[in-house]
């Protein structure tokens, strides 16, 4: 057990999917894993371990924002031996070709700052995904009835953003979408020599103002979960 994860040794799989919302973790575990068991509920941040096609998987909520995912990723890697961590969550579209319900697979993450930023001082570190996972996710996404985009995303440290000028520059420079966790996850994975990837469903759009109704999010979320699971064990 750690400060934030109550699982015993051996209860966490080497492959961990990380949605921000702990209730999405429960939904994904119930719908995609066999024999899923609750292994963590400290602070209400639910985690479940089961199997997918015979492979052990943990689905652990990460909370919202880079400081929160940093806590869980650090403990999962250092204390529980996690080797593959895949963020599954939502993002806001930033390009006209990125539509509501599409899936974005993040190759790189742009950010203003992460909890790790002070380590780099003046260096602008560029966190990127594990290529093997990225390649496998793109392959797993082919043939699905969902739009898929691969490229750079923006990991923001604020939800209620008051920097429209910054969003304009992200859009101008080809950023596909904005979310709040992947840059720190990629940084930690690169630091510890493990694999990480971010796969996000587009739930709203910064240009058009469109938003996916809450009652439709879980159904759309399913494509992303299956892509992540297939990529993890490709």
- Residue 196: CB atoms within 10 A of its CB come to 29
- What's the pLDDT at 218? 67
Give residues with Cβ within 8 angstroms of 5, minimum separation 6: 12, 40, 42, 47, 60, 72, 75, 76, 79, 80
> How confident is the model over 123-172, as pLDDT tens digits?
999 999 999 999 999 999 999 999 999 999 999 989 888 888 999 999 99
Q: Which of these, 54, 53, 55, 74, lies nearest to 63 by C-alpha position?
A: 74
The CA distance from 162 to 147, in Å, is: 29
CA distances to 22, 48, 68, 141 from 64, rounded to whole Å, are 10, 18, 6, 26
- Residue 212: the pLDDT is 87
Tokens of 218: 């879980």
18 is in an annotated binding site: no
β-pairing verdict for 103-111 and 195-205 = antiparallel
Report helix angle 131-141 to 214-232, nearest 10.
120
Question: Sign of dihedral through CA atoms 232, 59, 4, 91?
Answer: positive
Is 204 noted as a catalytic residue in this protein? yes
Q: How many CA atoms lie within 13 A of 104 on its CB side?
A: 32
User: Is 226 labeled as ligand-binding?
Assistant: no
The CATH number of the domain covering residues in 15-232: 3.40.50.1580
Task: Convert the pLDDT of each residue in 58-72 to its tens digit.
Answer: 999 999 999 999 999
Instruction: Pull the structure tokens for residue 63.
Output: 């909370």
pLDDT at 163: 86
DSSP 91: E
Provide φ and ψ at 36, rounded to 5°.
-65, 130
pLDDT tops 90 at residue 216: no
Domain map (residue ranges) of the chain: 15-232
- pLDDT-wise least confident of 4-8, 76-80, 219-223: 219-223
Is 157 assigned a ligand-binding role in the annotation? no
Average pLDDT, the chain: 95
Identify the active-site residue in 145, 165, 204, 223: 204
């Amino acid at each position: 057990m750690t400060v934030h994860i109550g699982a015993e040794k051996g209860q966490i799989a080497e492959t961990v999917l990380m949605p921000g919302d702990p209730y999405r973790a429960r939904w994904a575990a119930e719908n995609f894993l066999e024999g899923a068991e609750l292994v963590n509920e400290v602070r209400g941040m639910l985690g479940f371990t089961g199997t997918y096609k015979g492979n052990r998987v943990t689905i652990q909520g990460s909370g919202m924002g880079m400081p929160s995912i940093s806590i869980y990723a650090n403990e999962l890697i250092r204390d529980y031996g996690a080797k593959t961590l895949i963020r599954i969550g939502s993002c806001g579209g930033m390009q006209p070709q990125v539509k509501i319900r599409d899936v974005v697979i993040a190759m790189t993450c742009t950010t203003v700052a992460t909890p790790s930023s002070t380590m780099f001082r003046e260096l602008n570190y560029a966190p990127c995904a594990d290529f093997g996972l990225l390649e496998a996710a793109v392959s797993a996404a082919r043939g699905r009835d969902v739009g898929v985009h691969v490229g750079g995303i923006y990991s923001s440290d604020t939800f209620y953003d008051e920097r429209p000028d910054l969003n304009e520059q992200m859009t101008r420079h080809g950023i596909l979408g904005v979310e709040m966790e992947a840059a720190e996850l990629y940084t930690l994975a690169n630091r510890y020599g493990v694999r990480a990837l971010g796969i996000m469903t587009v739930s709203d759009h910064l240009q058009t103002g469109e938003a996916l109704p809450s009652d439709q999010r879980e159904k759309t979320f399913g494509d992303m979960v299956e892509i992540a699971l297939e990529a993890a064990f490709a």
